[in-house]
Structure 1
């Protein structure tokens, strides 16, 4: 009709079609993304690597909380329907703050697999490989005490200073990484540990070197517990309960980093055989 302008209203994006935000201090969270992508192939995934501020393990709790809230805010600007804290240190320090900030959103964190490790152990002694920040956290202390009281299993915490940095640098089979692993693993085996918990999402990427180290130290069978798969199962459960599952696909992945765009692109290709678009971010806030 002449002289009449038609107002076209945009159709809101259904919540189920919105992406899942996943973040870590660097590339370690790709070990979690791998399981999420396999379990939820129709979902849109946003991965944020905070490599410009890594490592988190040596930062104060307040600093980790500040970074986590800033990154979550960035992912919320991209309409994330759920958050996955794919970092043990950030989970220990910031999961409460994130859930308080976003009370109506599924927020899934990473916990060292102490319960499954206790169930696997035959000697009653379990070694926990993690960052200093994770092992010093109140969250870890409470979990350790709870599981020990229920199972009578002794947990031997081993801070692995520098190991996440080696993974970030792509030093997955280097002599320096092997030396670090021997330094951290040998004392645990000598104290009777028959199960090792990988308490940092970076560590699964050096699993072959961990297994080689164990074989050089002992002929005994040593079980290794990774927490990536349980995180994916928990995320599926929460999305299903809230009717947020994306039923049609194919899902896509997009990535952001405060560090090197090239390094994250290379990590995706080398570690997961994926080539998503990667955008450099100057600041998450």
Structure 2
């Protein structure tokens, strides 16, 4: 498939659902002139409980769709898809600038004061070879101890859109409290959905008198890396004017439109697609 090389072409951003909007927020802030396409694979979500091969197949299918719509670069705004599939995406499209997200273990290791870092992520992310290698590498280099906590079901609840729901509050208490009990002074938000419940996580920290715990969100670093890749490829969009944003989903278009409105205060055109 031909890869668009024009600076005026859009950037494709995708996630299993609405979590990647937390990354899109940083991209819009740092690269305000770039046209963007956001793809929520909600019809096949969540990725966290799927096999690695399934996630690879979905990532390649979504990438093909975004390229067919002119994407000049790709952001895999999903920790699970990055761990499972970014290698396959890069192998299939070696000329495509691709940025993934991964749990911020390195900045967390730098931030911790007592060497104990809690990692909140999906089960698939924590089992992935890429994550395991990263954890072992950083542990060996820094002596940081990473306390792993799979947050089963949390993505599903966030996808429903009611971030103040009692079910989310109960899950956050259930998953965060054990990390605090083990002494974690730094907590990695290892899924792009989790920054949207940051306020709930902070409430758990206050309830446990642990307001000093540092939260690590890597969305800002992803946007910076995207900017560097665009510059290196000669593809930054430098034209003035209002950047465009379109949404696509394999799930319910109205639900994605509502997520744009509720989470980012945006109202882009959203289309349901069969991919």
TM range (shorter): over 0.9
Kindly indicate whether residue 76 of structure 2 is the aligned counterpart of residue 99 of structure 1.
no
Kindly indicate whether residue 243 of structure 2 is the aligned counterpart of residue 243 of structure 1.
no
**TM-score, length-scaled by structure 1:** 0.94
Look up the match of 1:116. Answer: 107
Greater Rg, structure 1 or structure 2?
1
Kindly indicate whether residue 267 of structure 2 is the aligned counterpart of residue 278 of structure 1.
no
**TM-score, length-scaled by structure 2:** 0.97
C-alpha separation in 2, matches of 1:250 and 1:104: 28
Kindly indicate whether residue 256 of structure 2 is the aligned counterpart of residue 264 of structure 1.
yes
1:228 paired residue among 202, 219, 225: 219
Quote the offset at 1:192 in angstroms.
0.6
Quote the offset at 1:218 in angstroms.
2.5
1:81 paired residue among 72, 75, 78: 72
Look up the match of 1:255. Answer: 247
5+ residue gaps in structure 2?
none
1:192 paired residue among 183, 191, 196: 183
**How many corresponding residue pairs?**
271
C-alpha separation in 2, matches of 1:51 and 1:111: 20
Q: Name the SS for the 1:158 alignment partner.
A: strand
Look up the match of 1:217. Answer: 208
Maintained 8 Å contact 1:19/1:81: yes
Q: Name the SS for the 2:54 alignment partner.
A: helix
Maintained 8 Å contact 1:19/1:45: yes
Q: 1:46 to 1:191 in 2, by over 3 A?
A: same
Look up the match of 2:173. Answer: 182
Quote the offset at 1:174 in angstroms.
1.3
RMSD (CA atoms): 1.0
Maintained 8 Å contact 2:26/2:220: yes
Maintained 8 Å contact 2:202/2:211: no
5+ residue gaps in structure 1?
1-12
Maintained 8 Å contact 1:125/1:154: yes
